[in-house]
Amino acid sequence: MSLCRRLFSIALLLIAVPSCFALQPEVHHPLDALTPDEYWKAYKVLQAAGKLAPKTLFASILLEEPVKSVVLAWKPGDPIVRKVDVVLLNESKSYAAVVDVSANKLESYTELTKEQAPMSTTESRSFDEDIKKDPRVIAALKARGITDLRTVHCGVIPAGYVGLPEQTDGRRIGWGECSDEMDSLYRWDRRIAGIFYVMDLKEKKITRFSDNGAVPMPPSTSIYDADGGKAMPGTKPIITLEPEGPSYTVENGEVDWQKWHFRFRLDPRVGPVINLVSYNDGGKPRSVLYEGSLSEMYVPYQDPDEAWNSHVFLDGGEFFANTGSGGIIKPLQVGVDCPDYATFYSGTFFRDDGTPYVRPQLACLFERVTGDPMWRHWDGSTSAISGRPTRELVFRTVATVGNYDYIFDWRFGQDGSITVGLGATGILEVKAVKDQTADGDLSAAMVGKTPEGKRVEFGQLIAPGISAVDHDHFFSYRLDLDVDGPNNSLMVDKLVPYKLPDTAQGRKWIWAMMPEMAKTEGEAKYNVSVEHPAMWRFANEGVKNKLGQLTSYAIMPGETGISILPAEEWPQKRAGFSAHNLWVTPYDPNERYVSGVYTMGSKGEDSLPAWTKQNRNIMNTDIVAWYTMGFHHVPRPEDWPQMPTMWHTFTLMPYQFLIKNPTMDLPMTP
């Protein structure tokens, strides 16, 4: 190497040093995600306070989001007080701590007596040996010809409260089944049928064991090619390019794109959190949404067998620390999950030993041209056509919760709309059954009879000997709309048949819109209905557009569902939000998680149905919408071994927010 080159290298190194330090995420805004430095500060404060025993697990480490008034009053340069909510688990005891990482101070520390810490992967896996030592388990496995247990894994999942005797004294309980991964690559179709146990996690003892009888393990059909096949003959490339780069700018989590401005952060528990969304109306940024995020996911399985109907997941509250490398959202594939021209963003999350880590490609941002017109018209009188092409901005993450993958989209439209998309893909949960074919009688593991003698089915064969069990997916979105400011009211515009006067010629009936303002949270519970249609809007009683109309945004459902389980069923008490598509409550910084901060062991004490019993005022005050997007899943063979993405959406739509279509002046190229 020449001297010249060597000097040049040293010079480069010197230049590189400051930008290298700049890679360390800093806190620029009260709503920024926790930085590695802050995770370590929280760790060290707890360490110094003597709260970390050798086996203590960090079940949750989350930013304690400042209350809205503090955030709205904050200006760049102002100090930022940063607090971290930590949940620790030691010897099956749960502890809640608040650490002020700005002051390096332990603000509070409490042992939880009613509530329980979420289960982390380390805890979940820690019972494998204990279970496999239980003579009942050994005998049941032996009866199935399994004696070498090296490929057998006996897991524990959080036991959602269902009123079992084991659950009545607040004990930490789990339950589960064993899998044998022999002959497969993934465990999803390797569950050993018939075995079920309830476990006292403190005592590390199985309190109840059942064996409903062996079912032969079907051949694995879950193995799939990870590399991709050949294109079908005749398939030619489609290439999308942004030769000059993207049209958005992102700085410290603040996104600017066309008329939109918003912040994002990646939260370990609920995934993407979108904040301070504003739409620029003629040079003036106008508030639309203070915060939008997932609040909870509820996935109850529907099968008569306790081993299966005990699968009642509150995936938001239960599984975010589940993977050892915590955080519900998982890496994205360039060119598969997002276009290859997308911009990718990393996230800083925690392992359940309390250490932080940074993972790249957890979120992507991209502009999309679908080839659909924003508007168009052919005018009969002039035979002239006009219209505009459009583009949209997509912010995307993917949550993986065990078998399922959920694509979370926030799509910003040029017309002022925001569409929230949820794509469900991944792997079905399946059980081994005796049935090799659906042709003929099916076993009791698959079909039953109603008291009236009608045949019902609990799942569908998706391969010989494999049934995919019926289940639901409910996603509760917490939408803190602040339309032109925090104080909003819920307008429910019902469409009602309207009788014309008897003197009317021709038509006797029309329908008319009956706008009603919801008064209290007790009445603000609504379902989608084709027979009784209504529009739901967040309106600002203090702000009118130039036409004298209260400015508002409508929440427009897409295809959706609600839970059809009776309200007295325990899972419904815990996930009661799923009984309605829309609920509205007054803003309360303590009400972020629709089924409670602590879902494990919860009986629904801290949940939306419980909160709304207060029947608080929701008129002309800061209100929050809880929107349930749900669907029932009766699986198909076509969903196996991977499920084609099933999309559901809803849209936040400006309604009398503007005084005309804001896309009239778009250019003729997207």
What Cα–Cα distance (Å) separates residue 561 from each residue in 493, 532, 582, 585, 609? Answer: 21, 16, 11, 21, 18
CB of 125 to a second copy, least distance (A): 11
Q: Are 140 and 132 in contact (CB under 8 A)?
A: no
Span near a second copy by CB under 8 A; candidates 97-105, 448-456, 603-611, 616-624: 448-456
Sheet of 205-211, strands arranged across: 157-158, 173-176, 195-200, 205-211
CB of 87 to a second copy, least distance (A): 21
User: With helix as H, strand as E and coil as C, how does 273-297 read?
Assistant: EEEEEEEEECCEEEEEEEEEEEEEE
- Subset of residues 329 to 348 that bind a second copy, contact rule: CB under 8 A: 330-331, 333, 335-339, 342
CB of 185 to a second copy, least distance (A): 8
Distance CA 215, CA 481 (A): 52
Distance CA 323, CA 119 (A): 10
User: Judged by CB, which is closer to a second copy: 23, or 668?
Assistant: 668
Distance CA 566, CA 431 (A): 25
CB of 545 to a second copy, least distance (A): 7
CB of 296 to a second copy, least distance (A): 19
Distance CA 34, CA 114 (A): 28
Write the DSSP assignment of 391-430 as a string of letters. Answer: -EEEEEEEEEETTEEEEEEEEEETTS-EEEEEEEEE---E
Backbone angles phi, psi at 247, to 5 degrees: -100, 5
Q: Are 561 and 631 in contact (CB under 8 A)?
A: yes
Element (H, E) at 629: strand 621-633
Q: Are 21 and 316 in contact (CB under 8 A)?
A: no
Exactly one of 78, 353, 457, 605 binds a second copy (CB under 8 A); which one?
A: 457
Beta-bridged to residue 254, according to DSSP, are 251, 263
Write the DSSP assignment of 314-328 as a string of letters. Answer: EHHHHSTTTTSB--S
Would you call 404 a catalytic residue per the annotation? yes
User: Judged by CB, which is closer to a second copy: 115, or 303?
Assistant: 303
Kindly name the residue from 39, 197, 404, 627 that is annotated as catalytic.
404
Which class for 667: exposed (0-12), middle (13-18), buried (19 or more C-beta within 10 A)? exposed
Distance CA 465, CA 219 (A): 8
What Cα–Cα distance (Å) separates residue 15 from each residue in 5, 23, 541, 624, 634? Answer: 15, 14, 55, 48, 59
- Subset of residues 169 to 198 that bind a second copy, contact rule: CB under 8 A: 185-187
Distance CA 594, CA 604 (A): 10
Q: Does 14 bind a second copy (CB under 8 A)?
A: no
Q: Does 427 bind a second copy (CB under 8 A)?
A: yes
Q: Does 54 bind a second copy (CB under 8 A)?
A: no
CB of 75 to a second copy, least distance (A): 25
- Subset of residues 125 to 164 that bind a second copy, contact rule: CB under 8 A: 162-164
Span near a second copy by CB under 8 A; candidates 56-64, 212-220, 297-305, 608-616: 297-305
Q: Does 213 bind a second copy (CB under 8 A)?
A: no
User: Which residue from 543, 510, 104, 107 is spatially nearest to 286, judged by alpha carbons?
Assistant: 543
CB of 119 to a second copy, least distance (A): 14
Kindly name the residue from 100, 281, 305, 315 that is annotated as catalytic.
315
CB of 150 to a second copy, least distance (A): 15
User: Amino acid letter at 51?
Assistant: K
CB of 163 to a second copy, least distance (A): 7
Distance CA 511, CA 162 (A): 46
Backbone angles phi, psi at 430, to 5 degrees: -130, 160
Handedness of CA 251, 256, 261, 262 (dihedral sign): negative
Q: Does 544 bind a second copy (CB under 8 A)?
A: yes
User: Judged by CB, which is closer to a second copy: 149, or 422?
Assistant: 422
User: Judged by CB, which is closer to a second copy: 8, or 378?
Assistant: 378
User: Which residue from 532, 526, 486, 527 is spatially nearest to 513, judged by alpha carbons?
Assistant: 532
User: Judged by CB, which is closer to a second copy: 487, or 527?
Assistant: 527
User: Judged by CB, which is closer to a second copy: 82, or 153?
Assistant: 153
User: Judged by CB, which is closer to a second copy: 25, or 662?
Assistant: 662
Distance CA 581, CA 532 (A): 14
- Subset of residues 570 to 599 that bind a second copy, contact rule: CB under 8 A: 570-571, 581
User: Judged by CB, which is closer to a second copy: 438, or 619?
Assistant: 438
User: Which residue from 237, 167, 162 is spatially nearest to 207, judged by alpha carbons?
Assistant: 167
3-state secondary structure of 131: helix
Span near a second copy by CB under 8 A; candidates 15-23, 96-104, 128-136, 540-548: 540-548
Q: Does 558 bind a second copy (CB under 8 A)?
A: yes
Q: Are 501 and 335 in contact (CB under 8 A)?
A: no
Exactly one of 135, 548, 590, 613 binds a second copy (CB under 8 A); which one?
A: 548
User: Which residue from 115, 200, 199 is spatially nearest to 603, judged by alpha carbons?
Assistant: 115
Q: Does 370 bind a second copy (CB under 8 A)?
A: yes
- Subset of residues 480 to 539 that bind a second copy, contact rule: CB under 8 A: 493, 495-500, 504-515, 527-533, 535
Span near a second copy by CB under 8 A; candidates 1-9, 41-49, 375-383, 608-616: 375-383
Q: How far is CA 581 from the centre of its chain?
A: 16
CB of 473 to a second copy, least distance (A): 13
In this structure, the number of other CB atoms found within 10 A of the CB of residue 181 comes to 14
Exactly one of 119, 463, 597, 629 binds a second copy (CB under 8 A); which one?
A: 463
- Subset of residues 255 to 294 that bind a second copy, contact rule: CB under 8 A: 258-259
Exactly one of 398, 433, 518, 608 binds a second copy (CB under 8 A); which one?
A: 398
Would you call 622 a catalytic residue per the annotation? no
- Subset of residues 100 to 119 that bind a second copy, contact rule: CB under 8 A: none
Exactly one of 75, 230, 284, 613 binds a second copy (CB under 8 A); which one?
A: 230
Q: Does 219 bind a second copy (CB under 8 A)?
A: no
Count of residues interacting with a second copy (CB under 8 A)? 188
CB of 495 to a second copy, least distance (A): 6
Site string for a second copy, 615-654 (x = CB under 8 A): -----------------x-x-xxxxxxxxxx-x-----xx
Exactly one of 212, 549, 620, 621 binds a second copy (CB under 8 A); which one?
A: 549
Exactly one of 130, 415, 523, 541 binds a second copy (CB under 8 A); which one?
A: 415
Q: Does 221 bind a second copy (CB under 8 A)?
A: yes
Distance CA 208, CA 215 (A): 21
Q: Does 387 bind a second copy (CB under 8 A)?
A: yes
CB of 458 to a second copy, least distance (A): 6
Q: Does 67 bind a second copy (CB under 8 A)?
A: no
Q: Report, as residue numbers or ranges, the catalytic residues.
A: 315, 404
